Amino acid sequence: MNMNEFLKFDFLEMTIRTLASFIVLLLLARLMGKKQISQLTFFHYVTGITIGSIAADIAGESETPFVNGLYAMVVWALLTYFMNILALKSKKARILLDDTPTIIMHKGKLNEGAMKKSRLSLNELNMMLREQGIFSIKDVEYAILETNGQLSVMKKAAQESATKKDVKAPAPEPKYVPTEIISDGKLIKENLKELGLTEEWLFDQLKSQGIGKVEQVFYAEVQTDGSLHIDQRS
């Protein structure tokens, strides 16, 4: 900003615009409620960003007509509010706005169709499981992708029971970190090499379970004890 631009800068106008935008945004946030603030769904995430963007334009862009900007912000917030009311009263509207949860794993088996529909890769699924302290897909009974993008997981019953420490059972050190070696029908050679395992070992494991080709496997993971968990294509 040069000296001429500095002199033309209207501190009073920008202060009033910023203060008014802040107050209106605060009131609108209270109107829309905690659900909007927590951004429970993609719809609320988008509307929250849009309202904030309008408020930023009002406060920082002198070219933006002040009253027009405030009006747009209020109308957008009211539309969001009324859509929330409609979603509470109508199941169809709720599905339209928020979508529905998607079952990614059912009774321990991956749902390929649901993963493709949700555009969720195996790497992303594994990351989301690890964030919940689950390092092997084998330990999961149900996994549901919620409308806010979070993953809800129900572990298998054996994994929910008392720990080995509780029952004073021996707890041997794991040989491996659970690692995927087949993803969507493709062999991950670098992971196999990192574990110190060979392709011959893998093919023997597949053969022992009646599988002749890697392409028949949707997902395969080496377990902590060196065994292989396999999820075949449906």
At residue 7, the pLDDT reads 45
Q: Do 134 and 212 share a domain, yes or no? A: no
Domain boundary among the residues 96, 129, 149 is at: 96
Q: Provide the domain limits for residue 48.
A: 10-96
Q: Do 60 and 82 share a domain, yes or no? A: yes
Answer yes or no: is pLDDT of 153 > 80: yes
Query: Residue 26: which of 1, 64, 52, 8 has the closest Cα?
Result: 52
228 versus 99: which is more confidently predicted?
228
Q: Do 77 and 45 share a domain, yes or no? A: yes
Q: Is position 84 within any domain?
A: yes
Whole-model pTM?
Answer: 0.57
Q: Do 70 and 132 share a domain, yes or no? A: no
Q: For residues 73 and 19, what is the distance between their CA atoms, to the nearest angstrom?
A: 15
At residue 231, the pLDDT reads 92
Q: Do 178 and 219 share a domain, yes or no? A: yes
Q: What is the mean pLDDT of the chain?
A: 81
Q: Is position 167 within any domain?
A: no
Q: Is position 3 within any domain?
A: no
Q: Is position 166 within any domain?
A: no
Q: Is position 193 within any domain?
A: yes
Q: List all residues 6 or more positions away from 77 whose beta carbon is below 8 Å from its beta carbon.
A: 28, 31, 32, 51
Q: Is position 186 within any domain?
A: yes
Q: Is position 206 within any domain?
A: yes
Q: Do 182 and 210 share a domain, yes or no? A: yes
Q: Do 127 and 68 share a domain, yes or no? A: no
Give the CATH number, domain containing residue 192: 3.30.240.20
160-164 mean pLDDT: 57
Q: Do 45 and 92 share a domain, yes or no? A: yes
pLDDT above 70 covers what percent of the chain? 82
Q: Do 55 and 39 share a domain, yes or no? A: yes
Q: Do 190 and 228 share a domain, yes or no? A: yes
Q: What is the pLDDT of residues 55-82, one digit of tens each?
A: 888 777 767 777 888 888 888 888 888 8
Domain boundary among the residues 96, 121, 143 is at: 96
Q: Do 37 and 89 share a domain, yes or no? A: yes
Q: Do 194 and 224 share a domain, yes or no? A: yes
For 13, list phi and psi in degrees, rounded to 5: -60, -45
Q: For residues 234 and 232, what is the distance between their CA atoms, to the nearest angstrom?
A: 6
pLDDT above 90 covers what percent of the chain? 29
Helix (H, G, I), strand (E, B) or coil at 140: strand
Total domain count, the chain = 3
Q: What is the pLDDT of residues 182-202, one digit of tens each?
A: 988 999 999 999 899 999 999
7 versus 103: which is more confidently predicted?
103
Answer yes or no: is pLDDT of 168 > 60: yes
At residue 210, the pLDDT reads 92
